[in-house]
Structure 1
Amino acid sequence: MNSIKAVIYDMDGVIINSEPLWREALIHCFNQVGFDFSQDKCRITQGMRLMEVVEYWYAQQPWKEKSLEEVEQAILRKVTELILEKGEAMEGVYTSINYFQSKGYKIALASSSANSLINAVLNKLELTQEFEVINSAEHLSFGKPHPEIFIKTAQQLNIKPVDCLVIEDSFHGVLAGKAALMKVVAIPEEENHNNPKFSIANYNLKSLKELETIDFD
């Protein structure tokens, strides 16, 4: 049996409570180009890279006011502004990182968000020194649910994928972790705690605080 040697955190919705702020930014910016956006639409593309989110919704309902890149940059500016203004760490982030470090696990971050947003979040939460590897899918060939970002992160940690544990909140992220042959902890938003689609994860938790109760080895 493989034992865990590294833990890879997602960022949005895992270390920072930013999913509601992402929804606020998306609704605001899409509405500005005449697209009647909603909370439910936000959840369809949760966990995807921002460029893919914009492309997905443009294909559903094209707009003329701004280019796709302009909309993407507007959303990134808005969500960064919101996170810096009122973003808060998810409950249990600091204690879970300390717990895994005490067990000798390597710690990494692998996010679909842009590098600029990752840096803003880590600075705000004072976590810049806690991760041995920090990766964004921004410039990779594929975003989640493709496993590329997790495979790349494992390579940089010099750890086999099967010896890695991924912590995710989105279904796209869970799929990516499983596709990378890693063990996956799913901690979805409260409304999805009993959603059967998350049963594909190895562990389904309600909070990072529960991590210390599980023997991952």
Structure 2
Amino acid sequence: MTTNESKKPSSDPQIPAFLRQTTEDLATTLAFIQSQIHAIYSTASADQQDDNAPKLDHDTYIKIYTATHSYCTATKSPKGSLSGEDLYRYLEEEVRNYCQGVRSYIFITDNDEEDDPARRLLKAYITQYNKFAHLSNLVKNLMQVLERHWVRREIDEKKKNVYLIEDLNKMVWRKQVLQVGADTAPRKQGLGEVADAVTELRERSGGMAEYDSKLVKDVVRSLSFLGLTLDD
């Protein structure tokens, strides 16, 4: 007669801690989450051909979410409270790097055969903004546990430079892409260039084509969502 032995957790250090049914190796769990965040933003980078934000299959989504839960609820700060600063700061840096790439793509790279500079700029801007909005929502959902267990407590304690995930994304986009609040930004870059392009399309003789009218409305609406107007 044989008996089934319980399966022992894997000792492979490449397998994240939550899959090994242990919380002892939090560094590996954090590294796994960071690698997945990096992969998401790299796949969605502005120089990729696909204008849509990446989609995660169900299994990958659950693994990342569960790993985040495992990390955030097992990590203790010196005071004994739950901590998530390492993960939060890594996410912040990934968002910043992503937005810097978007800025380069929109305002610096000649990435379109469109012979109308104003239309080209606005089309590139709204395409990248829409992709970023979907990407931000995906990451916000993945990081719900981080926001609930660490971010909100830091905000309640009035800690500086900590924001809700959605607000973090908005702030970084404003600073890095539109150069609003960036102290070293030249005056006419970023938001100023977008404003000039909108004005140019609006003031053309004969009025705007239907496509241009929708494009301008979409851009203005996106700025409003960021808490900005063309007068800022």
- TM-score (normalised: structure 2): 0.28
Which structure's residues are more often strand, by fraction? 1
Higher relative contact order (CA 8 A, sep 6+): 1
Which structure's residues are more often helix, by fraction? 2
